[in-house]
Amino acid sequence: MSLVEGDSEAEERTLRWNRALRTCLNRRIKHINVLIRNNRKRDEREFSSHVAPSSHLTKPGECEVCKKILLLFKTPLHEYKSVYLGAKDYILSLPCKAHSRLFAEVLPDRRYPEFFQSSIQGISGSKLKHKKIVLLCVASPSPIAPQSPPLNLLVSNPRLGLKSTAQMVHPQWIKHSLPRQWKEHCDCRHGTECRRVLLATLLARGRPKWIIDVWRSCLVPGSLAAEYVALSYVWGERSFVTTTKDNIDCFQSPGALSTLPLPYTIRDALGFTEMLGVRYLWVDSLCIVQDDTNAKYAEMENMSAIYVNASVTIIVSDGRDAYAGLAGLQGISFPRAYKQAIFDLDHGSKISLQQQYRHESVWSTRAWTFQESLFSNRRIIFENDCVRWECSKAFWYEDVLQRDGDGSVPMKSGAMLSSNFPDLRGLYDLVRVYNYRDLSYPEDALNAFTGIMRALSPAFKSGFLSGLPLVFFNSALLWQPQGYAVRRVARKGVSGANCLPSWSWAGWKCSIETSQIENDYIKHHSFCRSSFLHDEVVIPHVQWHSHRDLHAIGTPIPTDWYEYRKNYLNTEAAPPAGWTKHTIHESSSKFIRWPDWFLKLENEPKCFYKHESDPNSEFWYPIPLPSTTDESISIVSEPYLSCRTHRGWAFGGKYRHYRGDTPVLDLNDKNKREIGFLKLLESSPLKNGQNDDSEKKYLGQPIELVDIAIGYHHASPYPAGDRFHYVMWIEWEDKVAYRKGLGEVSMEVWEEQDPELIYLMLG
């Protein structure tokens, strides 16, 4: 099967689709432009009837543009409202300097300066639903039209019936009582709700071995701490004092830590913990014995549980190392340098630009901090010289008046971590975000993800093998990179090299393509992504075995998921224990939209299933679930896979990029006929200081392929047909093969080759 044009008939269909798509887009853009012109004319007529001539618009309180912006703040909290403010040139020509300065400051998105100068059709203001904030937006047909950061009303205006939604912030010091007020408000108003989801997991039983007693300034057993705060920060490259086997006894003496030259972040966190009214603090560098290998590994495995059970996590997003500190805590740390953005508007009002946060701090790029944040029920975040609170019920900021529920977001990931049902798409969404993050030691790629796998194990039967869920192993093995990929290589002399197999995502630093991963077994679920039966079906026909080394006897990997699908999807078979079958009385016919085609799935389902543990969820077919009485967790890291499969050959064709940067190589047969494609695992040649000669490098070169699964499309627009083989491009080192790419080849062409049967050992 191929992703691009095949024979002449396929090319013609592609051209027809492209023409139809361009026509549709052009009509849509014309329609939007007509709406914008009509709105602009309407508002200019309104302005002319209500606004005095420009020469008289010098007195305060007469600017209708400012008034329209301000009145958006009167919109009830639960409602959304948008108002067109007028054409750009018209608005900026008005003598009111207040809104002109505001627009000039907050709308010119520096990523699109040319766009802002030339393409704006007009400006509108919007009050978001369930939030007391206003956004100024560029009215334009472009999908990348810039908008302002959130705006809040800083000064009340009784004449207009407006109450302020923001407050002044001290440029140097955080209000001393504010963080503790946030915590106490959450304790009182939210109760256990903000912690209930994650505490429902098996992780709730884990406790740290050691904890810092802030009052006594020493280490004490973790079992003493009924409530504690955890710290998430960046170590950096500068050395600092840590706990070792030599000083662990000394550090248990009262006052021992107060005499140490601790880095600013840890020192400030000790003071901030006491400021929150909590006695105990967990910091990895001091609460883990760094040179005790066994104890260190045990605590690394327990890391997710430590953050789950913390009352709150202090996240230090600022800075590149442990010496960054928590700026702005008067009497504890050094002052910050925060400048609040405030703008005057007509009618005697002031607008405050809500605190902004960068998303590319060093902390946000580290792999270990990913699970620290994910498993933290409640967070106090220090970033950009500001502090904010996040829990599952609310986001609170220094500069915004506290309003319970503002900015709240459901903790979908937290719900997934405590679910009884496996969410394959959700798992790979987590992997996608995690896997391009940085590790000081590449061999920690699986260690830093272990906490997530531990939390998911009660839902994923049989556990995980080197990061892949065993219950969906044949499907999970088909993961694809999104963009370029860099091979992870363990440090010399480190046995962790065995934890970086080429067939696992953990062996590569890259993002993961998730668009083709679907929970096709879920008909309806409260938080898992539901779908109709996925158009693409994976049929396992290779029996895989895992090996801890090259000489070990292999452990067979089951194909339970596919057996359940085959036995129960739209069949007359009685459901397995714990499941009930329900008839679909009305047509459930669904269509898959493909450019220029509407494809109807074959064998429309006549039934669905429910499980006794969750009667509100519906499934297209039962899925294997772990036993409710078995609380063992199976997380295995083994480097080798083996199977007996077939080998074939193809030749390199066109080299291109799919959806941005993902390298794709089309495959040709010996007659230069296109027969399939591969997505490649390779780093960017430009980043390596090389010329991008990939097109020439692969053209006509023999490509060794092994068959790893059969793929099937219910209906296919591709000339190759609806059946194909998933193939892996391999290269050999001694007697071990390593993955270089993965893709699809037409079943008909593959079987024409008469591929040879081989014994494959993947490393």
The per-residue pLDDT for range 525-562, each reduced to its tens digit, is: 766 665 555 557 889 999 999 999 999 999 999 988 89
Q: Using CA atoms, how far apart are residues 382 and 136, in angstroms rounded to an integer?
A: 27
Q: Which of 353, 381, 414 is the last residue of a domain?
A: 414
706 close to 646: Cβ distance less than 8 angstroms = yes
Residue position matching structure tokens 């798409």: 425
Q: What is the pLDDT of residue 139?
A: 64
Identify the CA nearest to 284 among candidates 217, 363, 219, 199.
Answer: 219
Residue 607: inside a domain, yes or no? no
**pLDDT range class, residue 657, cuts 50, 70, 90:** confident
Domain of 81, in residue numbers = 11-148
Q: Using CA atoms, how far apart are residues 610 and 532, in angstroms rounded to an integer?
A: 16
Residue 632 burial (CB count, 10 A): 8
**425 shares its domain with 410:** no
Question: Which of residues 158 and 190 earns the better pLDDT score?
Answer: 190
Q: What is the pLDDT of residue 632?
A: 65
Q: Using CA atoms, how far apart are residues 370 and 377, in angstroms rounded to an integer?
A: 13
**709 shares its domain with 672:** yes
Residue 590: inside a domain, yes or no? no
Residue 616: inside a domain, yes or no? no
**408 shares its domain with 470:** no
Q: Which of 94, 126, 148 is the last residue of a domain?
A: 148
Q: Using CA atoms, how far apart are residues 53 and 683, in angstroms rounded to an integer?
A: 62
**224 shares its domain with 308:** yes
**pLDDT range class, residue 36, cuts 50, 70, 90:** very low
**73 shares its domain with 139:** yes
Task: Quote the tokens at residue 689.
Answer: 């200081």
Rg of the chain taking only CA atoms, in angstroms: 30
- Is pTM, for the whole model, over 0.85? no
Q: Which residues pair with 662 in a beta bridge?
A: 658
Range with lowest mean pLDDT among 86-90, 334-338, 667-671: 86-90
**663 shares its domain with 537:** yes
Identify the CA nearest to 305 among candidates 254, 371, 370.
Answer: 371
What are the pLDDT digits (tens) for 109-142? 444 444 445 445 677 888 877 677 787 776 655 5
**196 shares its domain with 84:** no
On average, the pLDDT of the chain sits at 82
Which of 19-28, 521-530, 678-687, 724-733 has the highest mean predicted lDDT (pLDDT)?
724-733
Q: Using CA atoms, how far apart are residues 678 and 379, in angstroms rounded to an integer?
A: 42
What are the pLDDT digits (tens) for 449-459? 998 998 888 88
605 close to 569: Cβ distance less than 8 angstroms = yes
**pLDDT range class, residue 324, cuts 50, 70, 90:** very high
**197 shares its domain with 74:** no
**Cα angle 164-168-173, degrees, rounded to a multiple of 5:** 150
Residues 6+ apart with CB under 8 A from 419: 459, 527, 528
* Domain count across the chain: 3
**pLDDT range class, residue 495, cuts 50, 70, 90:** low
Identify the CA nearest to 719 among candidates 676, 657, 688, 668.
Answer: 676
Task: Quote the tokens at residue 199.
Answer: 């505490």
**191 shares its domain with 124:** no
Q: Which of 414, 438, 466 is the last residue of a domain?
A: 414
Residue 5: inside a domain, yes or no? no
DSSP 320: S
